[in-house]
Chains A and B, each alone.
Chain A
């Protein structure tokens, strides 16, 4: 097998804009899947709405292209009914953290053995560049002409509300760390979340001063640095993986035992 076999290359070119970061995620995911022996008989993709959601259509797997925000309940149900399958969610920050935010909170709590790849471009790209849940404060978008007014959602903090969870941060520039994160996440016995900073040049980058996708990648290269090994918390713009304790068999816990604090 080869990476190419994981992709429906006959459907290329994709709908993604030239310079989009999503292709870099798909390529790396396909490569890791090839390494790990994930194929259409043992793996299902679940994708959301937004540019990233199209990824399922371009991969040689059975794929559920869900409603906006609903990847996690669908993925969790598939895993419950078919625990032998690898269930991989691929979606964007808006789909997972805004409209799907409630599901994210509770999926993390239940800790299903699924892997989530979040294409975090800090914008609603498909709809033209509106403020998203992870848009940095002050960013000029088409729905925040005076700058985004609110604190962006702390995805790391949300994911790590469960001490058993797996959170990784990488960028599409850092292919090595992204590869490592995807590989470890798929192997993680519980909920794993990969927060992948990725450029949207057409509907975000140009408006905030980048001349090209290349400039955005260069920005990731200079701004993001590896975090310490065995970090329990990553600082902003630190690359790395924060792993909790792998979950053990659930036991009855009385309230107030501090679990989850």
Chain B
């Protein structure tokens, strides 16, 4: 960012490739999306976002930064900051994400656009602070009390961290909800060569009237009628408000149905992997088709449903003990094979062991084409859209 601001002439040059870290890309994406308020609390492996936000704020007074006393304060602060008119965000990891859940529910109840970045590590509890995990999928969907409609994205590359940070803010503004951007310890700390300036995503402007616009609105976590009177025992009113919000949020989510479909589509087996796991699984490309959900929630029922029928077997490779596999089984009403990568063991070796356990290890050696995930960057997937992409990386 300093390059762009101190040497503006470079902005016009087509190639601005440089090494970017996943966490840095998230921050840059947020800034590109127009974020102007960050509240956070240090926690590995997300802390670079906090630290770099503070550095950015020091030279950009219009960008407000606060390091809070805890993640409860952080999450509540971005609710206040957003209501006051600033596109607001925070970044955290597992335990901090747990502490933020009540505020996330408040944001859903009241309808407050904001973005929560969760750079996942291995839980539960303090767990394995510097090891990558993917075990917060359910928490990202169901972590707060009651019913609500979550939108959650999970990129796979550093460039995508930038791209989907912008999309997360866009989705938040459109849906007026807290949107979750998932990352993980591996992706957050991954350095890849990326040309972020080449990524063009239209930014959705803020349309919600900020506080003190002359009205007398009551923003209430308590169920209320339009005039602010309590509606705490009126089921009809609750259902009316709930259904209206759900309908709107699902309609918005339709416009953000990001996924990738590729690899060897002629295979009889479909691998489902997302986030960093999809990168680690890259050497399996000759043997399997790939479906990678980028919008984790709401689930891509229609999109996956149209693809899954072509495959005899489905394998879900993920960094949890079946959180997404369970979701896929529910989506498709069919059994899937599972390769859980636990304890932060996100390696091709661990995937091969997992495939071997379920008798689905490809007979040809995959190791010859194996690359470490960091070097896969050169053939990172093209920016995905709501259309299927991929297939080009098959050697």
Contact = CB atoms under 8 A, between A and B. Distances in A.
A249 interface: no
B70 interface: yes
A76 B65 CA distance: 12
B73 A73 contact: yes
Interface in B171-211: 210-211
A234 B369 CA distance: 76
B72 to A, nearest CB: 7
Contact of A82 (B70, B212, B215): B212
A57 B228 contact: yes
Given A67-B103, A73-B39, A106-B69, A85 B80 contact: no
B85 A81 contact: yes
A77 B229 contact: no
Contacts of A73: 39, 68, 72-74, 76-77, 80
A8 B225 CA distance: 15
A70 B76 contact: yes
Interface stretch (B18-26, B216-224, B285-293): B216-224
A106 B73 contact: yes
B79 interface: yes
Contact of A80 (B37, B69, B216, B222): B37
B69 A76 contact: no
B230 interface: yes
A70 B212 CA distance: 20
Contacts of B72: 70, 73, 102-103
B77 A57 contact: no
Contacts, number: 132
B113 to A, nearest CB: 14
A66 B109 CA distance: 11
A63 B80 contact: no
B244 to A, nearest CB: 20
Interface in A63-122: 63-67, 70, 72-78, 80-82, 85, 102-103, 105-106, 110
Nearest to A76: B77
Contacts of A70: 72-73, 76, 103
A238 interface: no
A162 B392 CA distance: 62
A255 to B, nearest CB: 17
B246 interface: no
Contacts of B36: 81
Contacts of B220: 57, 65
A253 B9 CA distance: 39
Contacts of A43: 212
Nearest to A43: B212
Nearest to B219: A64
Q: How large is the interface on B (under 10, 10 to 19, 20 to 34, 35 or more residues)?
A: 35 or more
A66 B211 CA distance: 14
Contact of A85 (B69, B70, B103, B212): B212
A66 B229 contact: no
Main SS class of interface, A: mixed
B34 to A, nearest CB: 13
B81 A77 contact: yes
Contact of A40 (B103, B212, B221, B227): B212
A103 B84 CA distance: 19
A77 B212 contact: no
Contacts of B77: 73-74, 76-77
Contacts of A72: 73
B374 to A, nearest CB: 37
B84 A81 contact: yes
B395 interface: no
Contacts of B84: 44, 77-78, 81-82, 85
A15 B230 CA distance: 9
Interface in A188-203: none
Interface in A42-57: 42-44, 46, 49, 56-57
Nearest to B79: A74
A250 interface: no
- In order of increasing CB-CB distance, the 7 nearest A-B pairs are A77-B80, A74-B80, A81-B84, A106-B69, A73-B73, A77-B77, A65-B220
Given A62-B211, A63-B218, 9 more contacts: A11-B229, A57-B228, A62-B219, A67-B106, A73-B73, A76-B77, A77-B66, A80-B66, A80-B81
